[in-house]
Amino acid sequence: MATTMSLTKTTLPRQSALGARSLPALSVRTQSRRSQRQVTRAINDTNLIISGCTAGALILGRFVFLPFQKDNLKRQGLPVQNDVPYADIERLSQQADSVLKTNDPEGFNIIDVLAWGSLGHAAAYAILAINSLQAANNIGPENIPGVGQ
């Protein structure tokens, strides 16, 4: 396999405290007949952790906490203002329900999706940060006396 090398003079920008300067540098390019492949994986551990935590939080919000919240609302009743039930207050003082309309049978709306999705993302990034910290500091069960043996 034949490779060719060429020397070219390029200028690389360097940042200093006084501002940007250009300094000459030599770069060596190696060209080969075979092109190098770059492998890009669409599904990696980071994507799986973030997607899994977000899906888990949405499932918990929809199937666990939403029925719990609806049950508490039934037991406590709707708010009352000046001995007038919430449903009977004049139209202008009621909140705009057009944003909260949904086709979900239980009433899981866009506000719930955004809230539970953000909690899932926060949990995923916390897991990734803890794993990164443990890897950087070489912390693990095998390094703790009496645990990893």
Predicted model pTM: 0.58
3-state DSSP assignment of residue 57 = helix
Structure tokens that stand for 24 in this block = 């000459």
**What pLDDT, in 10s, does the model give residues 73-111?**
889 887 777 777 766 666 555 566 666 778 888 888 888
Q: How far apart are the first and last CA of the chain?
A: 50
8-51 residue pLDDT tens? 555 555 544 444 454 455 555 555 556 788 887 778 889 999 99
Partners of residue 44 on adjacent β-strands: none
d(CA 142, CA 149): 7
Gap between the Cα atoms of 132 and 128, Å rounded: 6
